[in-house]
Structure 1
Amino acid sequence: MTGRAPIGKHMRTGLLRAGQRVQLTDYKGRKSTITLAEGGEWHTHRGVLHHDQLISQPEGIVVENSAGYRYQVLRPLLNDYVLSMPRGATVVYPKDSAQIVQVADIFPGAHVLEAGVGSGALSISLLRATGDAGSLHSYELREEFGDIARSNVEAFFGEPHPGWQIFIGDAGEKPLEIEQPGGVDRVVLDMLAPWNCLNAVRTVLAPGGVWVSYVATVTQLSRLTEEIRRSGGFTEPEAHETMLRTWHLDGLAVRPDHRMVAHTGFLLSTRRLADNQLPLELKKREKVSEPAAADVQAWAGTSEEQTWDEETLQTRVVSKKKARKAAASSLQHAEAAKEVVNDQ
């Protein structure tokens, strides 16, 4: 990439340009995100704001609309972008994306495998962490989700990322056709039944490589943990969740906010051992209560009748109609972003 700025830098710095997204904040702290266009207008019940007032201006300006209503203008940060972009599947929240990048030890130049691309929120964080010299292979079952993610990522970076590819197919099988054995540095899974990918992960992940899975429920967390332990070849799994609490700051009235982003999901991480190596048996307490057979069957999923799907786990099912609408919206943003001139 010699002789050119890093991918996406022209979307994050310099004067505001047509095709870029900006965040407008009013005096009550309410935020709205719009895509700038030559001659464009943003209409609300409080008046009209002309896009030309913002184009070619620096970030951080305060502008008035036709009714004198004032807005603070800034480019949305990554956190703001992923929460406002068109989506089909629910996005991985920024607090979890940040933890995934850290726990998985995503580094510049790494080759990362991601499964369950959704709307592309986590893909953006992974691509920023791997840098222009790294690569990300994203596997997705639903083609419409792949379309949404592709457009959202291109809208953020302003162009297709050279290190990113999306493959449509089963993440438990497709990587075995695409990846070289031991050729993947890091694996990140966001899917309903990640244990179905255990053989694929064991095959393509390099010794010492990190595998992080994002799961929403305790039952998924327990099932995945036990499957990893039974398989051998991985270190003892570790799990945690992250809760984010903001604070109210007003003079001497400094206290936690009444609302917080609490549970969104669990992160379970483990590392690949070298071939033909078994993990150390960790010393346990002397008194260990043995679970009943019925409990093992329910939690570990040994019942053939057990089905792990959106309905069973009570997760939101995204209809094809909604996914197509989100795909069209994200494509519109991506096309506008590609028109932004990269003069850096």
Structure 2
Amino acid sequence: MKQDPTAQDAGQAPHGAAARRGTFRPGERVQLTDERGRMNTITLTPGTAYHTHKGFLNHDLLIGSPEGSMVESNVGQQYQALRPLLSDFVLSMPRGAAVVYPKDAGQIITMGDIYPGARVVEAGVGSGALSISLLRAVGDNGYLHSFERREEFADIARGNVETIFGGPHPAWKISLGDFQDQVVAQEAPGSIDRVVLDMLAPWECLDAVATVLAPGGVWINYVATVTQLSRTAEAIRADGRFTEPDAWESMVRGWHLEGLAVRPDHRMVAHTGFLMVTRRLADGVTGMSPKRRASKTDFAQEDLDAWTPAAVGERSVSDKKLRRAARDASSTVQTKRNQEQSQETETRQDGFGEQ
């Protein structure tokens, strides 16, 4: 008899995999797409309904149905039901800070060579979008230590990570505080394989990165502006403990597909940030200078003062909004847990009744 893959022992499957398989369950997030391609994500709750200006759709029609089902509202409006992909979840999850877009997260995973079992540290957790991608890459047997300065952001990230993985991830640790101080206190020298920084001034962390990163390890930075990119690159070159930095940006342009009307979309995801990668050299080795070294640039005090969140275009987020986003992220996890517990209780009661 062929074994149902959804019946595998959860301990043998990667963390969170069981939640991605099988029929729709109470407390699960489901993405509904209507006939015009508009998408909405709902959390399945028995006895409730999804309401629009075109009628309502009972959640009970979806609970127990296989993924990819087609359902109809009370007025005949059709919906296609699927589990949200990671890219869908990232763009719709509760947030307190701007998220790392999927196109950049994919580049970080690939160009940063994040592999299963790797030991990774990151700083600038934000809403947890990049943390989710990193955890998927390192796997259950890897290690991701995230550092965040603001407790509100950490709470939002924790809620989002637990939502998509169905609970705390075994490879994840999150700490509050400044990266350059905390990472050297909590991680042994040379014990980290990869460092990922998404922060305002990564050049301030140069000594800390050089301390914890193993020889040959990769350091990848995500910065928003040319001035940040320039100063980080010059600091790395002047330090001498790393290889020549390499920088790039990615742009994604979708295409309109309708019969013979095949053309680029009018809108695209253009610049979101710059990525820069460098590698740690062995102790005592000095990095090679490029054949054509750019002239050094002096930074005056007014230049240093210019690198503030407001100056580089970052919006300040109110404490009230952060607290609301943290509550939303936490409530999604709790709702799912409550629905699962309720379903287990009903199952046990039904079993007693049959006896």
TM-score using structure 1 length: 0.93
- Structure 2: how far apart are the matches of 1:47 and 1:324? 33
Q: Offset of 1:3 from its aligned partner? A: 4.3
CA offsets, 1:302-332, max 9 Å, x none? 6586252211111121111111110000001
Contact 1:104 1:212 in 2 (8 A): yes
- Structure 2: how far apart are the matches of 1:279 and 1:40? 63
Q: Equivalent of 1:200, from 188, 202, 208?
A: 208
Q: Equivalent of 2:27, from 11, 19, 27?
A: 19
CA offsets, 1:206-263, max 9 Å, x none? 1100000000110100010001111110000000000000001111111111110000
Contact 2:55 2:74 in 1 (8 A): yes
Task: Tell whether 2:196 aligns with 1:184.
Answer: no
CA offsets, 1:154-191, max 9 Å, x none? 00000100110110000111101111101111000001
Q: Specify whether residues 64 and 204 from structure 1 end up closer, same or farther in structure 2 by C-alpha distance, changes over 3 A only.
A: same
* Structure-1 residue corresponding to 2:120: 112
Q: Equivalent of 1:215, from 212, 223, 227?
A: 223
Q: Specify whether residues 264 and 3 from structure 1 end up closer, same or farther in structure 2 by C-alpha distance, changes over 3 A only.
A: closer
Contact 1:111 1:185 in 2 (8 A): yes
Task: Tell whether 2:142 aligns with 1:134.
Answer: yes
Q: Offset of 1:66 from its aligned partner? A: 1.7
Task: Tell whether 2:176 aligns with 1:173.
Answer: no
Equivalent AA in structure 2 for residue 106 of structure 1: I
**Partner SS, residue 249 of structure 1:** strand
Q: Offset of 1:335 from its aligned partner? A: 1.6
Larger relative contact order, structure 1 or 2 (CA cutoff 8 Å, min sep 6): 1
- Structure 2: how far apart are the matches of 1:91 and 1:36? 25
Q: Specify whether residues 39 and 241 from structure 1 end up closer, same or farther in structure 2 by C-alpha distance, changes over 3 A only.
A: same
Contact 1:223 1:301 in 2 (8 A): no
1:152-167 superposed matches below 5 A: 152-167=160-175
Contact 2:10 2:18 in 1 (8 A): no
Q: Where does the alignment leave 5 or more consecutive residues of structure 2 unmatched? A: 1-8, 345-355
**Partner SS, residue 42 of structure 2:** strand
Q: Specify whether residues 302 and 206 from structure 1 end up closer, same or farther in structure 2 by C-alpha distance, changes over 3 A only.
A: farther
Q: Offset of 1:62 from its aligned partner? A: 1.0
* Structure-1 residue corresponding to 2:322: 323
* Structure-1 residue corresponding to 2:332: 333
Contact 1:159 1:337 in 2 (8 A): no
* Structure-2 residue corresponding to 1:236: 244
Task: Tell whether 2:79 aligns with 1:71.
Answer: yes
TM-score using structure 2 length: 0.90
* Structure-2 residue corresponding to 1:58: 66
Contact 1:24 1:31 in 2 (8 A): yes
Q: Offset of 1:149 from its aligned partner? A: 0.1
Equivalent AA in structure 1 for residue 248 of structure 2: H
Q: Offset of 1:270 from its aligned partner? A: 0.2
More helix, by proportion: 2
- Structure 2: how far apart are the matches of 1:9 and 1:91? 23
- Structure 2: how far apart are the matches of 1:305 and 1:9? 46
- Structure 2: how far apart are the matches of 1:51 and 1:304? 56
* Structure-1 residue corresponding to 2:5: none
Q: Offset of 1:54 from its aligned partner? A: 0.3
The Cα RMSD (Å) is 1.9
Q: Specify whether residues 2 and 32 from structure 1 end up closer, same or farther in structure 2 by C-alpha distance, changes over 3 A only.
A: closer
* Structure-2 residue corresponding to 1:248: 256
Identity of aligned residues (%): 58
- Structure 2: how far apart are the matches of 1:151 and 1:272? 33
Q: Offset of 1:29 from its aligned partner? A: 0.8
- Structure 2: how far apart are the matches of 1:269 and 1:48? 50
1:252-271 superposed matches below 5 A: 252-271=260-279
Q: Specify whether residues 2 and 40 from structure 1 end up closer, same or farther in structure 2 by C-alpha distance, changes over 3 A only.
A: closer
Q: Specify whether residues 124 and 305 from structure 1 end up closer, same or farther in structure 2 by C-alpha distance, changes over 3 A only.
A: closer
**Partner SS, residue 311 of structure 1:** coil
- Structure 1: how far apart are the matches of 2:284 and 2:323? 46
Task: Tell whether 2:101 aligns with 1:102.
Answer: no
Contact 1:235 1:279 in 2 (8 A): yes
- Structure 2: how far apart are the matches of 1:19 and 1:2? 18
Worse overlay, 334-343 or 83-92:
334-343
Q: Specify whether residues 303 and 229 from structure 1 end up closer, same or farther in structure 2 by C-alpha distance, changes over 3 A only.
A: farther
CA offsets, 1:1-36, max 9 Å, x none? 994321001221111101111100111111101111
Task: Tell whether 2:133 aligns with 1:125.
Answer: yes
**Partner SS, residue 33 of structure 1:** strand
Equivalent AA in structure 2 for residue 138 of structure 1: S
Equivalent AA in structure 1 for residue 279 of structure 2: R
